[in-house]
Structure 1
Amino acid sequence: MSTTGQSELRALTSVRGIAAWFVVLYHIRLSIAGLSPDWVAVFAKGYLAVDFFFLLSGFVIWLTWGDRLRAGRWRMVPQFLRKRVARIWPLHLFMLACAVGLALLLAATGRANPVDYPFGELPLHVLLLQNWGFTDHLAWNDPSWSISAELGAYLLFPLLALAIDWRRVPTWAVLAAIGALLVLLHALMADGGALNLGHDIARFGLRRCVLEFASGTAIAALWVRWRDTPAVPAWTSAGIAVLMLAGWAVDTLSETLAVPAAFAAMLLLLALTSGKRGNPLEIGLLHYLGEISYATYLGHFLLFVVFKLAFVSDANAVPPLLIALYLVLVMISSIILYHLVERPAQKWVNTVTLPSRLRKRPGEDVSELLAKVRRPLP
């Protein structure tokens, strides 16, 4: 994950990989034979990794595209959207095609579940519109709901970038905006009867993404502001994260408020400490897990469906050895999907020639636009 044309914040890439594996464990937790209730409870919160993804996405997109959109204004929007579509859509389409093939195979053998594979909703999934209020349940490749929500955030981001330059907003106001966005998320979910962030994803998923994504953009501005003197902000962020998680653990604070706030503080902490000597999140293996994390995230769910059909007799009691085999297959499939599908398709989409009127202006140097982020903040 590269930001602002400078050295990569490797720790954030690594955490993205760790978060993707928590989602994997969340989806298989009830199938692991002999898993203790305590570990089941831990893995049951794996869906919260998606909230970190949303915050991180806003963080990265603001750093990469905020200044470029403000400099090029509406002329840059088609290029921005093409880059984002290239990032998320090809692998999604490939996995959706795999799901269709699986559904046809199950239908041919009389085992298809129309709730899991509703062909009438397939166009929505192709266009990544399935989590915009058009459906009331997850289907086909369940994790893709968050990619649908991300697309909504991408479409709104140019409006946010052109309306607000967080660098020119006083620090207290940036902090207040982050707090207001997260409180609004809590209020909307609480008003709808949600006791946790995973409640009724078809209904709350899009607003959950958009508000956390917007919070991430403001957090990025704080990182730019404090990265040269990170000690006090880092310690403060760590304290906020601990307090929020402690309040949630003892049922004093609601998950819908405490966890996004804790993750926001953790994101800032991780960004401020990225690149520091001895940071364990900088090691090569963890970084590579982050590089292939999108393939892990989109690929593991359907793989588990196929794995259970092929090797499992009791889906509620899969032996640990088979679970280990499945996890190895997730890793192998993630590597294959990343190198043979995700990256080549992304490069191909990015090479498609845009009409001349949508290209950047002659002489417009992207590096000059990105360099603006390095300027001192007021």
Structure 2
Amino acid sequence: MTGKPATTYLHALTSARGIAAWLVVFYHIRGTMPWLPDGVRAVFAKGYLAVDFFFLLSGFVIYFSSHRAMLDQGAAGIRPFLCRRLARIYPLYAVMLLLTIAFAALLALSGRAAPGYPWAELPLHIAMMQNWGFTDALSWNHPAWSISTEMAAYLLFPLLILATPIARAPRAALLAGMAILIAAMGLWLYAAGLDNLGQHIVRYGLVRCLFEFVTGSMLCALWLQSGTARHTGPLTVAAAIFGGAALLWYLNPRAELWAFPAMAAALIFLLADYARRAEANGHRPSPPMQALRYLGEISYATYLSHYMLFTWFKIALVTDAAHVAPWKIGLFLLLTLAVSSALYHLVELPGKRLVTALLRRDKRQAEGDPRLSPNRSR
């Protein structure tokens, strides 16, 4: 590393996260746009792959931002790590779940059937455990399934750092480990009869997340060892992996099960290294890149809100869900952008600050901070 702050290099990856979030949006609304060219619809039909990109990127970013503190603090660092992750994801998650609960309650009070909102499963959603193998179908706010599996990955992350040699493993071992993980996941899903990564989410979504999250963490460990911006060997290897996996996928569509994770991992490595080189050369992001970065910053709100927002949008403004006029789709996209920005600034950021402040207060109380003593003189 070059001594830059930990968040600097992540900005380039933030833009990619924003693009991926919008691919998920188009994936969920593609069935309402028969007027799109077939090629565009085919691209949107693969939007579920953006979630696999998220899992890999999450492992990369979490390792980059948290592994050093975990190694320095040992087991004492587990609680602060998990608290920081909860502060990051739960406030917005809770608000969207509450809005969905309110909607389901209105359906029930009006006498309408609401099979997609099983009240018996609600405790699992509150605990972010709904996609841990306890249910038979997606329910409530569907995209939240991946947040559930991410929570499982966060719980396993301390074990990955403290009980494995990932932080000190040589580059060859890390590269081999990633290849083994991707191949093992692909073989598992292939043996289960899957043709693509988007099938049977309830049963195999957790498998995808854990394998890809760990692969992303190993990818970051490899990237941190890849040398300075002067070395191009790792870039050549990453580009070769990307091209080879893309060719394999093209020749055999079912190879997506392992080809796409390999492609996504190579792309993340290339983007991270591009950012490192740009920083080393003093390059500043252009206005379009700054706009993309903002889309990335609000991408969690986009991802978590768009599904229910489209449900409500169709109830209010759509008469034929199989054919929504282009202007209405445009209106929905603008609405999603506006709502994402509002949720980010009004819920996500304040919620994160509030939870973080409460956690710090609890820590001070546990440590006997005299400033929090009720008997402290004023």
Distance 1:96 1:223 in 2: 37
Moved more, 119-128 or 156-165: 156-165
Which of residues 307, 311, 324 is equivalent to 1:318? 324
Which position in structure 2 is the counterpart of 1:113? 114
- Contact 1:238–1:265 (8 Å) recurs in 2: yes
Which position in structure 1 is the counterpart of 2:74? 73
Which position in structure 1 is the counterpart of 2:244? 243
- What is the RMSD of the two structures over their aligned residues, measured on CA atoms? 1.9
Shift of 1:279: 7.1
Distance 1:281 1:144 in 2: 32
Shift of 1:7: 2.3
The letter for the 1-side match of 2:71 is R
Which position in structure 1 is the counterpart of 2:30? 29
- Contact 1:130–1:148 (8 Å) recurs in 2: yes
Shift of 1:251: 1.3
SS of residue in 1 equivalent to 2:225: helix
Moved more, 195-204 or 157-166: 157-166
- Contact 1:29–1:43 (8 Å) recurs in 2: yes
Q: What are the within-5 Å matches in structure 2 for residues 145-160 of structure 1?
A: 145-160=145-160
Q: What are the within-5 Å matches in structure 2 for residues 321-332 of structure 1?
A: 321-332=327-338
SS of residue in 2 equivalent to 1:168: coil
Cα-to-partner distance string for 1:216-262 (whole Å, 9 max, x where unaligned): 11111121112513422223212211221222122166111100011
Q: What are the within-5 Å matches in structure 2 for residues 72-221 of structure 1?
A: 72-114=73-115, 116-221=116-221
Which position in structure 2 is the counterpart of 1:351? 357
| CA pair 230-58 structure 1, distance change in 2 beyond 3 A | farther
Moved more, 117-126 or 227-236: 227-236
- Contact 1:230–1:272 (8 Å) recurs in 2: no
Shift of 1:35: 1.5
The letter for the 2-side match of 1:354 is D
SS of residue in 1 equivalent to 2:362: coil
The letter for the 2-side match of 1:331 is L
Which position in structure 2 is the counterpart of 1:297? 303
Which position in structure 1 is the counterpart of 2:52? 51
- Contact 2:16–2:296 (8 Å) recurs in 1: yes
With the length of structure 1 as denominator, give the TM-score of the two structures.
0.90
Distance 2:257 2:35 in 1: 31
Which position in structure 1 is the counterpart of 2:41? 40
Distance 1:282 1:73 in 2: 41
The letter for the 1-side match of 2:306 is H
Structure 2: tracts of 5 or more residues without a match: 368-378
Shift of 1:76: 1.0
Moved more, 31-40 or 313-322: 31-40
Distance 1:6 1:325 in 2: 34
The letter for the 1-side match of 2:362 is L
Moved more, 212-221 or 281-290: 281-290
Which of residues 288, 291, 311 is equivalent to 1:285? 291
Shift of 1:18: 0.4
| CA pair 6-165 structure 1, distance change in 2 beyond 3 A | farther
The letter for the 1-side match of 2:352 is Q
Cα-to-partner distance string for 1:146-202 (whole Å, 9 max, x where unaligned): 000000000000000002243421111110000011111112111211111111111
| CA pair 253-109 structure 1, distance change in 2 beyond 3 A | closer
The letter for the 1-side match of 2:17 is R
The letter for the 2-side match of 1:340 is L
SS of residue in 1 equivalent to 2:240: helix
How many residues matched? 356
Moved more, 279-288 or 77-86: 279-288
The letter for the 2-side match of 1:73 is G
Moved more, 28-37 or 203-212: 28-37
Distance 1:173 1:25 in 2: 38
The letter for the 2-side match of 1:251 is N
Which position in structure 2 is the counterpart of 1:366? none
- Contact 2:196–2:254 (8 Å) recurs in 1: no
Moved more, 221-230 or 253-262: 221-230
Distance 2:310 2:220 in 1: 36
- Contact 2:313–2:332 (8 Å) recurs in 1: yes
Moved more, 190-199 or 295-304: 190-199
| CA pair 37-79 structure 1, distance change in 2 beyond 3 A | same
Structure 1: tracts of 5 or more residues without a match: 360-378
Distance 2:321 2:100 in 1: 19
| CA pair 166-306 structure 1, distance change in 2 beyond 3 A | same
Shift of 1:5: 3.0
The letter for the 1-side match of 2:92 is L
Aligned identity (percent) is: 45
